[in-house]
Structure 1
Amino acid sequence: MTQLKDAVVLITGATGGFGQELTRQLLQAGSRLILTDLDGDRLAQQRAEMQQASASGEVLTDLVADLSTSEGCERLYQQVQALQTPVDILINNAGIAVFGRMDEVPPEEWERLMSINLLAPMQLSRLFGAEMIARRSGHIVNLSSAAGWVALVGLTHYSASKFGLRGFSEGLQAEVKPYNVRVTVVYPFFSRTPILQSKRYGTLAKTASPLPDRLITDPALVMSRTLRGIERNQLHVFPDRIASTIHWAKRFAPRLLNWIDI
C-alpha cells in the first residue's frame, strides 16, 4: 500500500480541473504538497484558498514551471531539490489537447502537446525516479487517458501522446519494481475540466458535434478513484465506467468499438 498521509506529493498541472481535485483531496488525506503550474498567480491563489480550507494536509510550496521544454523540467527538478524534501509521490498530471484533422493542426501546436503530455512525464520520471531508486521507495503516477487506448477522430495527436505515456509507464514499472518503486497510470474519459475547451482547427472544428453532456464525467469522482488506485499500487486505473468499457472492448472485442458512438 502507498500511504498518502504525510507523503510529499509533487503535482504538475495543479491549477487544472484534475489538478485542483488532486490538491483538495490530497490535502484532506493529510499529504504534504508541492504544486506546480505555468500560471503563477492562479497557483498562489489556489494554494491560499485550499490550504485555508484544509486542517489536515499542507502545501509546502508552489512553483511556476514550464514543462514544454527539457530545460523547464530540469529547472523544476532543481527548485524541488533546493527544498531538501524528497518527493514520495510524483503525479504527472499536466496535459493539453488540440482538436483537428492531423494535417490541419499547426505543427507548433502538436509539438508543444507532445512535449507537455509525453516528454515532460518522461523527463520528470527520469529525474525524480533516480532518487526513488536510490532510496528504494517512491511512486510515479502518470495521467494518460481513455484516448490512450482508442484514438478518436480529431484527437490523433492527443491520442499519440497518451498511447506513448501508457507504453512508457508499463516499461517504467518493469524497470523500477525491483527497487520498491511503484508506477500507476490512469485512463479517465473526458471529464468536466478546461481541456474540453481546447483549441480547435480546420475542417473538423466546423463539422464535429460536441461531446454529449451525459458522457462527461465528474472530476471529483475520477480523482477519488485515482487516489484509491494509487493507495492500492495499481498499475492501470480506469476511474470511470466509459474508460473501463473502452478498455475491455479494445482488449476483447475491438471491432465493437467501430459501432459505439462516443
Structure 2
Amino acid sequence: MESGTAASAAEQPVISLRGATASLGSRPVLRGVDLTVRRGEVVALLGANGSGKSTAVRAVVGQVPLSDGTLSLFGTDFKRFRQWSRIGYVPQRTTAASGVPATVREVVSAGRLARSRFGVLRKADRIAVERALDLVDMNTHADASVNALSGGQHQRVLIARALAVEPELLIMDEPMAGVDLANQEVLAKAVRRQVAAGTTVLLVLHELGPLEPLIDRAVVLRDGCVVHDGPPPQAVGQHALPGHDHVHPHAAHDAEPLRTGLLS
C-alpha cells in the first residue's frame, strides 16, 4: 500500500495551475493560465514584456493571490501546502544583501535555515552550503562581502542560496537578465548539474541562451494567456515566439519589486 501511495505521489504534477487569473492593482495580468510542470521537467516560461511571466511564477510561490483558478504543488492544494523547503526560488532583479553587511557564505546559509531545526546549522547543513557555493563557482569568494560583488556574482549567490535548500523544485525568474556571458555559462552549468540530479525546474526567460539544451518544454504567454505549450522555439528572441505581436523591450514590465527570496 505504501509503495502504491509513493508511486501515486511521484505521478502527481509538481506544479498544476488551472484557469489562473490574477491582477496587479486593478490591472488584469493572468487571464486563465494553465501550467503543468511534471517531475524532472525543465520548463521555460517565455513571452514579451508585460505578458505575465513573472506574475505567473509569483502566483506559484504565493506572492500574488489568484482571483480565480486552482493551484497545487506536489499534489497538494496550495492552501494546505506547507513544505516550502522542497522549493528553491530565485526572484527577479534583486541583490543578495540589499546593503546589509553579510558574507557570501552567510547569505547562502540563510537559504539552508529553511530546512534546519531550531535555526541551527548542523554538519549536513554546512555541507549543503559548501556544495551550493561550489555549484556556482563561488567557494573562493565565500568569506567576501556580498556588497563587493559584481552583478553576475550577486546572481550566482542568490542561486546558491536557493540550491542550498537542496530543492526538489527550482524556480528562477529571469536568472540570466543583466548577467554577462561568462556568468551565464557558470549558472547554466549549475542548473545542468541540478537537472542531472533530478531537480524539476521552472524558468522565466527572455531568451533561452545557454540554457536552451536543457529545456524540455516552453510555455509562451501573451497578454496573460498561454499561446504555446510545447517544444521550445528554434530561434531565440521575442520575434521568434509564437504569438509575437511586435511588443518590444521598452514596454512596461509586468514584474513589481520582489522580496529577496521565498524563504527569507
TM-score normalised by L of structure 2:
0.34
**Higher percent of residues as helix:** 1
Higher relative contact order (CA 8 A, sep 6+): 2
**Higher percent of residues as strand:** 2
